[in-house]
Amino acid sequence: MAQTVHNPDQYMSDLRQILAQGRKRLGILVGAGGPAGILVDKASGRAKAGGVPLIPVISKLTSEVTTALAGKYSGVLKAIVADLGGKPNIEQILSRVRTLADALGKSEVHGFDGSKYEEMSKDICKEIGKAVSVELPFESTPYSELAGWIGGTVRDHPFEIFTPNYDLLFEQAFERAHIPYFDGFCGSDEPFFDPATIANDELPPRWARVWKLHGSLGWDVNSRNEIIRGKGKSATRLIYPTHLKYDDTQKLPYTALFERLKTFLRMPDCLLITAGFSFSDKHLKSVIDESLAANRGAAVLAFQLDDLDPEGPTCELARRRANMSVYARDAAIINCVRAPWRPGELPHPAWGAIRASYWGTQVGKTDSCFLLGEFAALARYITLTKAEQVEPPATVPTPASRAKV
C-alpha cells in the first residue's frame, strides 16, 4: 500500500490564490510565538540576528516574573505552584491568585488573606507589563510587513487580527504606517469600549480590526467603573482576565471580543490562520472547536514551529475537525489525515523561487522541511502573494534553537 503524503506545493498554491484574490473573509490569530520570533539586541532593542526574543515565550516569562517576585512572595508562590501541579505558567498562577483574592476575604490560605492576594495579583501584572512593554523595532518585522500588506490590498471584507498577547506591537505597526484600524474603543480623552460597533461591523473594509482577547497594556478602569483605553504601558491590571474576578461591566470587553471570534468563524467562507499559537489555551481552543463544528464553511490553518508530534493540543483538534489543518515542520494533518510532507514536481518553472519561501533547510540542519511555522517566514509569504519575484527568505532558525511556545 502506497504511503500517504501531503504535497506542500499544492496547499501553498491554494493559499497564495486565496490571499491574492481578496474575496474570502480572512483573519489571523497570533500567539506568543509571534513576538518571540523577533530577535533583538537586548541593549538597544534593534533587530539583530542571534539576539534575544523581543518578548519571551510563556515559560521564560514565567521564570522572569517569579524570580522578580521571589523576595516578596517566595513561600506563597511555591505553595501555589505545588497546588497547581506540573509546571504552571504565569497566567495559570495569576488565575489562582485572583481566585483566592476574590474568595477569601479575611480567611487565609498559605498565610495570605484576600487583600494580600489582591496585592500579589497587581504585582504579578506589573511584572508581566514590564516584560511586554516593548517597542517594535523600526527595522522590517513581521508586524510591519503584515500591516503594510493589509493597508495596501483591496479586499471585500476587513482583515481581522485576533491575539491573546498584551503587547502593542500590531498597534505600533499600523500607526507608524498610518493605516486605520479599530480595536473596539472609540474616543480621544478616555476612549470607551463600544460593543455595538464590534457586533455590527459597520466600519469600512479598509479598516483593519485588532481584537485583544486577553486584554492589553493601556486598558484601565475609570471612576465610573468603565473600561477605557489609552492609559499608557504602565496600565496593567486588565491583562489576562479571569471571568470569576470581574463584575458584569468589566466582563464586557472580553465576552464581546470572544463573541467576535465566534462570529468571524461562523461567517460563510472564512479562513483563520494561526501563528505562534500552541492551542493550549482551553478557552480559545473550545471557541474554535465549537465554531468549526457549527460552520462547515469555516477553515483554520494552524502553522506550527515544531515537528508535528509535540503539537498535542493542536493535533487533537485537527484529528476531529476536517476543516482544521495543521502545518508543522515535518508533517501535516489535512482533512483529518496525518502524513509527512513531500514536494512534487514544480507546478511551473517560476515556482522554484516561491517554493523556497516555504520549503528549505534550517540553520544547523541538513534535511529540508516546511518553513512557515516560523512567524517571520509566514508573514513574508503572505505579504509577497502579489509580488512577481519572490526572494527566498533568510535561513530560518531551528525549533531547537528557540524555546517552545
237 and 105 share a domain? no
Q: Which residues pair with 27 in a beta bridge?
A: 160, 272
Q: Which residues contact 405 (CB under 8 A, 6 or more apart)?
A: 31, 32, 33, 36, 57, 58, 276, 277, 278, 305
Q: Per-residue pLDDT tens for 296-307?
A: 999 999 999 999
In a domain, 1, yes or no: no
Q: Per-residue pLDDT tens for 261-271?
A: 999 999 988 99
Q: Per-residue pLDDT tens for 346-384?
A: 888 888 888 999 999 887 777 899 999 999 999 999 998
Question: Judging by DSSP bridges, how do beta strands 160-163 and 192-193 pair with one another?
Answer: unpaired
128 and 28 share a domain? no
Q: Rounded mean pLDDT of 199-203?
A: 81
27 and 84 share a domain? no
362 and 317 share a domain? yes
228 and 302 share a domain? yes
Cα 147 off chain centre by: 15
| Range of the structural domain that residue 70 is part of | 58-132
116 and 86 share a domain? yes
What is the average pLDDT value for the chain, to the nearest integer? 86
pLDDT at 6: 94
| Alpha carbon separation from 355 to 8, 65, 333, 371, 372 (Å, rounded) | 9, 41, 20, 10, 11
Q: Which of 109, 132, 155 is the last residue of a domain?
A: 132
pLDDT at 1: 53
Give the whole-number percent of the chain exceeding pLDDT 70.
92
Cα 161 off chain centre by: 9
Of 77-86, 245-254, 311-320, the least confident: 245-254
Q: Which of 132, 157, 188 is the last residue of a domain?
A: 132
216 and 85 share a domain? no
Q: Per-residue pLDDT tens for 37-88?
A: 888 888 888 888 888 889 888 888 899 999 999 989 989 999 999 999 888 8
Q: Rounded mean pLDDT of 379-390?
A: 74
pLDDT at 319: 95
pLDDT band for position 195 (50/70/90)? confident
More confident site: 58 or 115: 115
Q: Rounded mean pLDDT of 12-30?
A: 91
Task: Tell me the CA end-to-end span of the chain in Å, nearest whole number.
Answer: 37
In a domain, 284, yes or no: yes
Q: Rounded mean pLDDT of 259-282?
A: 93
In a domain, 366, yes or no: yes
pLDDT band for position 233 (50/70/90)? confident
pLDDT at 380: 93
In a domain, 221, yes or no: yes
Q: Which residues pair with 362 in a beta bridge?
A: 396
92 and 203 share a domain? no
In a domain, 405, yes or no: no
pLDDT at 206: 87
In a domain, 194, yes or no: yes
- Is the pLDDT at 404 greater than 50, yes or no? no
pLDDT at 363: 74
- Is the pLDDT at 388 greater than 50, yes or no? no
The pTM score is 0.88
More confident site: 390 or 85: 85
Residue 40, SS3 per DSSP: strand
Residue 317 is placed in which grid cell? 483538534
Q: Which of 114, 132, 150 is the last residue of a domain?
A: 132
Q: Give 267: exposed, middle or buried? Use CB within 10 Å, 0-12, 13-18, 19+.
A: middle
pLDDT band for position 241 (50/70/90)? low
Residue 208 is placed in which grid cell? 483593519
pLDDT band for position 320 (50/70/90)? very high
| Alpha carbon separation from 308 to 145, 234, 285 (Å, rounded) | 27, 38, 18
Cα 354 off chain centre by: 26
In a domain, 403, yes or no: no
94 and 143 share a domain? no
Residue given cell 498554491 in the structure block: 13
In a domain, 200, yes or no: yes
115 and 39 share a domain? no
- Is the pLDDT at 177 greater than 90, yes or no? yes
Residue given cell 501553498 in the structure block: 12
Q: What is the DSSP letter of 2?
A: P
- Dihedral angle of Cα 6, 299, 270, 32, to the nearest 10 degrees: -100
pLDDT at 242: 60
Q: Per-residue pLDDT tens for 134-172?
A: 999 999 999 999 999 999 888 888 999 999 999 999 999
**Euclidean distance between CA atoms 110 and 113, whole angstroms:** 9
86 and 226 share a domain? no
158 and 245 share a domain? yes
- Our count of domains for the chain comes to 2
Of 233, 182, 171, 219, give the one whose Cα is nearest residue 204.
182
pLDDT at 69: 92
**Euclidean distance between CA atoms 265 and 288, whole angstroms:** 8
pLDDT at 371: 94
Phi/psi at 262 (nearest 5 deg)?
-60, -45
More confident site: 84 or 393: 84
